[in-house]
Structure 1
Amino acid sequence: MKYSVVLPAKNEAGAIKETIHKIRQLDFIYEIIVVNDGSTDDTQKIAEQAGAIVISHPYSKGNGAAIKTGARNALGDVIIFMDADGQHDPDDISRLIAKIEEGYDLVVGARQKGSQASVGRGVANSLYNNLATYMSDHKVEDLTSGFRAVRAEKFKEFIYLLPNGFSYPTTSTMAFFRAGYSVAYIPIHAAKRIGKSHIHPIKDSVRFFLIIFKIATLYSPLKMFLPFAVALFILATAWYGYTLYEYSRFTNMSALLYTGSIMIFLMGLISEQITALMYKKDE
């Protein structure tokens, strides 16, 4: 099999050269593609001098957009995605590929304790993992890791689902689970990045809630909506029992709670059908 490495890069002049040199030392890599996402520094020039194939966006479109550009242009049977900022160790690529050769379709480098950039992001990632585990009924060790190897043909099935922002790992992982493909994890240690992070606390907080909803809508919306519907139904019944006992009547609050419960359940049911259509493949 041919192995392609895709590096999305935006203003990574400080780390890109060393990253490419380490990858080139792996003699089984067929090609290294750097997707220059509108960098304003010397990322493109340094990557070309280091021996990588460079594809440049005329302006910054986002990490996910860079991933999609790299995947569309990669010629390998297996694509390895990793960060260009020095966080991921190229020596771990062989471990990812070993799992692929065992028959897995997607292998993710799961960051171990101490690899998170901050306590807040560590807590957020833990919540993502637990929610994704609940939704998919599969143990998810690192939902948001950008270091992963994937069979190109199967990854390209879901390119249209991938967002242009930073949540492409979440989307692709849940899509693979939904399609019934095999997913595995290997433990890695992510080093401190070289250069300035492109993550912002406020945007990160908004992204946190968007990813929570994305996990639900990409896999099984009904599994997310049903607990809320049941909780409201129980609350409505309890309130109805109380008002019936105390005042011998059915109140507007009980009616509102029952209606809310039914509406949430129906929303989940409709979303479930829409999700199923998203994954329906043309014959």
Structure 2
Amino acid sequence: MKISVVLPAKNESGAIAQTIYQIQELNLITEILVVNDGSTDDTKEISVKAGATVISHPYSKGNGAAIKSGARKASGDIIVFMDADGQHSPKDIPRLLAKIEEGYDLVVGARQKGSQASLGRGIANSLYNFLATYMTEHKVEDLTSGFRAVRAEKFKEFLYLLPNGFSYPTTSTMAFFRAGYSVTYVPINAAKRIGQSHINPLKDGVRFFLIIFKIATLFSPLKMFLPISVILFMMATGWYGYTLWEVGRFTNMSALLYTGSIMIFLMGLISEQITALMYKEK
């Protein structure tokens, strides 16, 4: 099988050459594609000199956009995605490919404890994993890891779903689960990145809540909407029982809660049908 490695890179001149050389030393890879996402340093020149094929964006479009550009250009049967900042070790690539050979469609490098960039991001990732495990009913060890090997043909089915920002790992993983493809995890240890992080704590704090809803709507919206609907229905019934006992009538608050419960359930039902259409076989 032909194997392509895609490295999204924005101002990664400090680590990109080392990463490319380490990948080449494996003697397994057919092509190395560096997607230069509007870098203002020497990332492009260094990558070309190191022997990689460079795809350049005229301006920064985002990590997800770089992944999509690389996937469209890749000629391999298997695509390995990894960071260009030195966090991911190319020595782990054979371990991911071994799982692909066993028959899996997506293999994710799951970061172990102590490999998270910060305590806050570690807590956020734990919450992502918990929610994704609830939604899929499969153990999700690392939903947001960008180090992964995937069958190219199946990954390209979902390019239209992937966002241009940093949440492409979340979207692609949930899409594979929804489509019934085989997903597994390989434990890895991520090193400290070389250079400055592109993640903004305030901006990405908002992104956290958006990802929570995206996880739910990508896989099974009804699993998110139904518990809320049931809680509102129970509150309405409890309030109705209280007011019937105290004042002997049905109040507007009970009507509002019952109506909200029904509306949220119907929203979940409609969203479930729309999600099913998104994964319809073309």
TM range (shorter): over 0.9
Partner of 2:163: 163
Which residue of 2 is the match for residue 8 of structure 1?
A: 8
Q: Identity percentage over the alignment?
A: 82
1:246 corresponds in structure 2 to 246
- TM-score normalised by structure 2 residue count: 1.00
Tell me whether 1:274 sits opposite 2:274 in the alignment: yes
Shift of 1:139: 0.6
| One-letter identity of the residue aligned with 1:248 | G
CA distance in 2, matches of 1:190, 1:28: 21
Name the residue aligned to 2:110. Answer: 110
* 1: CA distance, partners of 2:214 / 2:109: 21
Partner of 1:53: 53
Letter in 2 for 1:11: N
Residue of structure 1 equivalent to 2:198: 198
Structure-1 residue corresponding to 2:73: 73
CA distance in 2, matches of 1:81, 1:95: 14
Q: CA deviation at 1:6?
A: 0.2
Instruction: Report deviation, 1:28.
Output: 1.1
Structure-to-structure mapping, 1:1-283, within 5 angstroms: 1-282=1-282
Which one-letter code corresponds to 1:172 in the other structure? S
> Structure 1, residues 204-245: CA drift from partner, whole Å, max 9, x if none?
111101100100110000000000000000000000000000
Corresponding residue pairs, total:
282
Distance between the aligned counterparts of 2:281 and 2:159, measured in 1?
Answer: 13
Cα distance in 2 for partners of 1:277, 1:2 equals 32
Q: Secondary structure at the match of 2:108?
A: strand
RMSD: 0.4
TM-score by length of 1: 0.99
Unaligned segments of structure 2, at least 5 residues: none
- Residues 64-117 of structure 1 show CA distances to partners (whole Å, capped at 9, x for unaligned) of 000000000001000000000000000000000000000000000000000011
